[in-house]
Amino acid sequence: MFENIKGFLKEKKGQSEWNTLYIVLILAIAAVVLIAVVKPMFKGTTKVASSQPVAGTPAAPTS
């Protein structure tokens, strides 16, 4: 049994398949973390943007 595992780990084709799997897994985790960090930042900017007047529109009189 261990001979088969050792042989699989020494094969270059087997290594490249595992390397691809690890890269895909790392990219998926990075995408989830990036979305989790960036999404709340954009939610905060929409609140600020909606409370500020848009350039070119007249401001409400303050009197």
27 in a structural domain: yes
pTM above 0.75, yes or no: no
Domain count, the chain: 1
Phi, psi of 56 (to 5 degrees): 100, -15
25 in a structural domain: yes
**Higher-confidence position of 21 and 6:** 21
Distance between CA atoms of residues 26 and 18, nearest Å: 12
56 in a structural domain: no
The answer on pLDDT for 20 being more than 90 is no
pLDDT for position 40 = 82
Which domain, by its residues, includes 33? 2-44
Distance between CA atoms of residues 6 and 19, nearest Å: 17
The H or E element containing residue 16 is helix 12-51
The answer on pLDDT for 63 being more than 60 is no
